[in-house]
Amino acid sequence: MANTVEITPHLTDNPRAQLESWLESVASAARTFCADHSQWGALSLACTEVHWQALHGNPAIAAPRQVFADPGPLDPLANPAVRQQHKNNKQAFADFSSASALLRDGILKSISETDRNNLRDPVTGLDLVTANAVIIHVLAAHGVYTESDIDSFLTKLDIKLAKLTDFDSHAANFRSNLAHLDTAGVPMTQFTAYRAYLLSLSNFPAFKHHVVNYVAATPVVAHRTPAGLANHLRPHIASVSSETHQQSFAGAAAHHAGASPYALAVPPAPTATPVTTRLQNVSSKDMRAVLAARDNRRQPNNGNSGNPGQRTPVTSAVTPPGYRYCYHHGHTRRHGWENGVLTAPCQYMAARPQEFGAAKLNAKTCTDCAGGSRNVQQVYSPPSSPPSNNTHIHTTSSDKTHTSYV
């Protein structure tokens, strides 16, 4: 552990202009202490209460300041595991105590003599303050932010992520500017901050599906935070980088309290796509099922003499591309489960809870729950009047073009 702490810049000539950099230097120094004992280091010794709570995200649960207390004497009869834990606790207490003293001295050295005199005990003349007490005093004396300062922080929140390799630094800068707004006395509500962070990622639409999963895992709107979303997305950076299918998810920011929790999962309206492009990311097994559905819709069922024009129902154990799965309706475009996410609930089953239990409502494939429908729902229209909600696949021969709807 270092024997001294150097905080720069010093709050001397222009404390108001230096304050933001000074606060960042104090927080950085605090986190270098006790790093072996906590992810926050000794930050609890040197940050405002607003900043400490903001780091922990959940407004419904107040996070107490982290303290490494003296574990006291060791029980002579303690087993080896308890002895080792006691030793670790003793070391954490010693590191924390040392950090407290060093941070206080380093911070006092970084402020003006006027500020130090205002902090000294009037009777003893000693500096009996803590690092946090110095921070509170400095903010009260020099932390009057102007509208221009606040506009600057808000503008920085609009900066978009430009490279995936900058994901962590982008998230850190975003949180830093939120903390500055807190310090300025105009904190942004947690959900508003979450929306602003979400929009800052919009250069990479491939985040969409991972955002949907975060929303599903955090159903209470007030509990969604920039830090929570960043932690959820970080493990998926590699897959997002490799994806080439770019669908905008900017509409995710429109999600608000009271809206359907599935609003983010509604896919965009399909558009006409050449078959050579459409087939690139579809497995041969799935495509065979889709093409079979198309061909069966084209051909009459000659084996059914009573209904010579009726088409054979198409069934599949695999959800075809562009379809979702519903226990009652089978593979359909209108609602159900898509890639493990419920994009829209089945209103028919929802209206009959006694007939359809939780297992049927939550079945993501036809094999998840006994009796699941394997039908591939077919919507057929002649090429002269194609339905607007179907995906068009164009195939071209040497003499004419055919259009099918799958």
φ and ψ at residue 334, rounded to 5 degrees: -90, -30
Q: Which one, of 135, 113, 108, lies nearest residue 4 by Cα?
A: 108
Question: Tokens representing 67?
Answer: 């303290």
* Rounded-to-integer distance, Cα 74 and Cα 70, Å: 11
Strand pairing class (392-396; 273-274): parallel
**Other CB atoms within 10 Å distance of the CB of residue 157:** 20
Three-state secondary structure call for residue 59? coil
* Rounded-to-integer distance, Cα 48 and Cα 136, Å: 7
Q: Tell me if 191 sits within 8 A of 164, measured CB to CB.
A: no
φ and ψ at residue 247, rounded to 5 degrees: -110, 130
**How is the chain split into domains, by residue range?**
15-142, 147-265, 273-301+310-405
14-52 b/e with 16+ CB inside 10 Å = b?
ebeebbbebbebbbebbbebbeebbebbbbbbbbbeebb
Q: What is the pLDDT along the chain (406 residues), one digit of tens a residue?
A: 567 889 999 988 888 888 888 988 999 999 999 988 988 899 999 988 878 887 776 666 788 888 999 999 999 999 999 999 999 999 999 999 999 999 999 999 999 999 999 888 888 777 778 999 999 999 888 888 888 888 988 999 999 999 999 999 999 889 888 888 887 888 888 899 999 999 999 989 889 989 999 999 999 998 999 989 999 999 999 888 888 444 444 434 443 333 333 334 333 444 444 433 333 444 445 555 555 555 555 444 443 444 444 455 688 888 898 889 999 999 998 899 888 888 888 988 888 888 888 889 889 998 888 888 999 886 443 444 444 443 333 333 333 333 332 2
Considering only CA atoms, give the Rg of the chain: 30
* Rounded-to-integer distance, Cα 196 and Cα 200, Å: 6
Q: How far is CA 169 from CA 159, 162, 273, 292, in A?
A: 12, 11, 38, 49
Distance from the Cα of residue 157 to its chain's centroid: 16
